[in-house]
Amino acid sequence: MNTQTLPPLPPKSVYYKRIRKNILIACVVILVCLLIGVAGYHYSSGMAWIDALHNASMILSGMGLVDVNKVSSNGAKIFSSFYALFSGIVFITNVGLILAPTLHRVLHRFHLQSK
């Protein structure tokens, strides 16, 4: 049996700092992904910047394309397909980033209680 003592549960200030850091990382990831989408729609289908921003935002948020007729070239359709898949992965990753400190704290507390 392992008799090693566990470190105490970190204070709430450390927990809140971790949450703030992870939310900031998630926001940066979303911003970078949005910029990728805007540039891709603008250059692959010739959309105006505002239309590209609108479509990229809708895809990234999971709402879907706004105007499918604007995506007319094969290159734009291929980009749109991969960007939609990429956005789904980004969403799942960001949920994990935001929830990680809370789950870590809960599991750490359970581990401390079992000793």
Any domain includes 7 = no
Per-residue model confidence (pLDDT) at position 35: 96
Q: How far apart are CA 105 and CA 20, in angstroms?
A: 15
Any domain includes 97 = yes
Per-residue model confidence (pLDDT) at position 4: 66
Any domain includes 103 = yes
- Locus of tokens 């998630």: 26
Any domain includes 36 = yes
Task: Please report, rounded to a whole number, the percentage of residues in the chain having pLDDT higher than 90.
Answer: 17
Cβ density class 33-51: b for 16+ within 10 Å, e for less: bbebbbebbbebbebeeeb
- CATH number, domain containing residue 72: 1.10.287
Q: What is the pLDDT of residues 36-60, one digit of tens each?
A: 999 999 999 888 888 888 888 888 8
13 contacts: CB under 8 Å, gap ≥ 6: none
Per-residue model confidence (pLDDT) at position 20: 92
Show the domain range for 46. Answer: 21-114
Per-residue model confidence (pLDDT) at position 68: 60
Question: Could you say which residues of the chain have pLDDT below 70?
Answer: 1-4, 6, 66-71, 81, 112-115
Asked if 111 and 36 count as a contact pair (C-beta separation under 8 A), the reply is no
Which tokens go with 31? Answer: 């911003």
Q: How far apart are CA 48 and CA 50, in angstroms?
A: 6
Any domain includes 15 = no
Per-residue model confidence (pLDDT) at position 39: 96
Considering its fold, how many domains does the chain have in total? 1
